[in-house]
Amino acid sequence: MMSLRFSRLPSILTFAALCLCGAEHSFAQRRDPVRDQPAVRAAFRESVVSVRKAVARIDCQEREVALGAVVGPDGWIVTKASELVGPATCRIGDKTYSAKLAGVHEEFDLALLKIDAKDLAVIEWAKDHVYRPGQWVVTAGLGDEPVAVGVVSVAPRAIPPSSMLGVSLADAEDGPQIMQIVPDSGAEKAGLQVSDIITHADGQRTASRQELISHVRKLNVGKTVKLKVKRGDKELEITATLGKGEVHFQDRLGGGLSERAAGFPLALQHDTLLRPRQCGGPLVDLDGHVVGINIARAGRVNSYAIPAKSVQELLPDLMAGKFAPPPSATTDVKKEGEKTPEKTGG
């Protein structure tokens, strides 16, 4: 069971009072949810005291892109892979280090970074891997107070991809025929046209509309699909990059969503209001033990975290180089030894 120390009871009662007193004002002003208010986050300060020293801020191209969790005292840091574009640096406390991309697990969208450091504080994993809806969870950052507070919504489960090609289809004699193309979609950018018949996808015969849809839905946003297309009396080969599925207006409220927000083999759902750049770091229980690594903001009150046990099982292989980053990624980060001079202060 989740432990709740009596010493923390006043803080939790303070939170409840703030919810009751602040709800009307919050909804009237259309501001962030009550739980996102500074006074509420301060009530959970004790939960991040031990873990915040093991949180890293990840910057790429002089822009904050994610948080990270220190998982090895000699400079191993786990974070969200798809946000890493260009040379990466890690800020821990008041020091900044350049980082080498040591490994990427694409299914979980996890990356392992390596910095030149020793004797770093590391996160403490939760020993209880039972997740119950309504369980408090806190997102730690570099500061004294939590980044955000929430509760578990749904126990860990597979999250299917939400990609789309950007076409509407009808079944024709030779396969699915394009009836309409979504503007600015992967289909339009690839040069697909209305009336095209897609006969194959990644070498597989697509005899029907549903077969093509099923194939696309197995792939994540940003992946490419190689299509064989019948256009009149011509046969073409076209490669299209998949985009995001439709996002409802209400899911955009409160900030943007993660570019990669679905397609995880296993993820814990919680209702914490995170910004995309606040993913990649530790999600903790009230005792400061890490229950997961935040991996995506997927909706208005829908964030995902990779469960602690899944991350722990992957780390030995990531550290051993069994999940080497793709060639395109290794050319975008600095090699170990090309270290940015260590900075102190601000």
- If you average pLDDT over residues 173-199, what whole number do you get? 94
pLDDT attached to residue 164: 87
71: left (phi over 0), alpha (psi -120 to 50) or beta: alpha
pLDDT attached to residue 253: 52
pLDDT attached to residue 332: 47
Res. 251: pLDDT tops 60: no
Separation of first and last alpha carbons in the chain: 40
Look up the CATH number of the domain holding residue 204. Answer: 2.30.42.10
157 has which bridge partners? Answer: 267
Q: What percent of the chain has pLDDT over 90?
A: 65
- If you average pLDDT over residues 241-260, what whole number do you get? 68
Contact 69, 282 (CB under 8 A): yes
- If you average pLDDT over residues 3-31, what whole number do you get? 43
Look up the CATH number of the domain holding residue 72. Answer: 2.40.10.120
129 burial type by CB count under 10 A (0-12 exposed, 13-18 middle, 19+ buried): middle
- If you average pLDDT over residues 323-340, what whole number do you get? 54
Q: What percent of the chain has pLDDT over 70?
A: 81
Tell me, yes or no, whether 289 and 155 share the same domain: yes
CA angle 251, 254, 256 (to 5 degrees): 70
Overall domain count for the chain: 2
Q: Give the whole-angstrom CA distance, residue 72 versus residue 227.
A: 43
Tell me, yes or no, whether 92 and 128 share the same domain: yes
Closest CA to 73 of 319, 321, 265, 342: 319
Tell me, yes or no, whether 122 and 260 share the same domain: yes
Res. 10: pLDDT tops 50: no
Phi, psi of 214 (to 5 degrees): -60, -40
Tell me, yes or no, whether 57 and 152 share the same domain: yes
* Pairing outcome for strands 175-181 and 234-241: unpaired
Residue reference for tokens 């396969």: 175
Would residue 152 count as lying in a domain?
Answer: yes
- Mean pLDDT of all residues in the chain? 84
Residue reference for tokens 């009530």: 43
What pTM was computed for the model? 0.77
Contact 130, 232 (CB under 8 A): no
- If you average pLDDT over residues 318-324, what whole number do you get? 93
Tell me, yes or no, whether 145 and 263 share the same domain: yes
**Who's near 253: CB < 8 A, 6+ residues apart?**
300
pLDDT attached to residue 34: 64
Closest CA to 266 of 108, 131, 80, 68: 108
Res. 246: pLDDT tops 90: no
Q: What domain range includes position 301?
A: 47-159+251-330
Would residue 190 count as lying in a domain?
Answer: yes
29: left (phi over 0), alpha (psi -120 to 50) or beta: alpha
pLDDT attached to residue 215: 92
Res. 92: pLDDT tops 60: yes
- If you average pLDDT over residues 298-320, what whole number do you get? 95
- If you average pLDDT over residues 97-119, what whole number do you get? 96
Tell me, yes or no, whether 86 and 131 share the same domain: yes
More confident residue, 326 or 226: 226
Q: Hey, what are 172's tokens?
A: 């024709």
What DSSP line would sit under 297-322, residue for residue? EEETTEEEEEEHHHHHHHHHHHHTTT
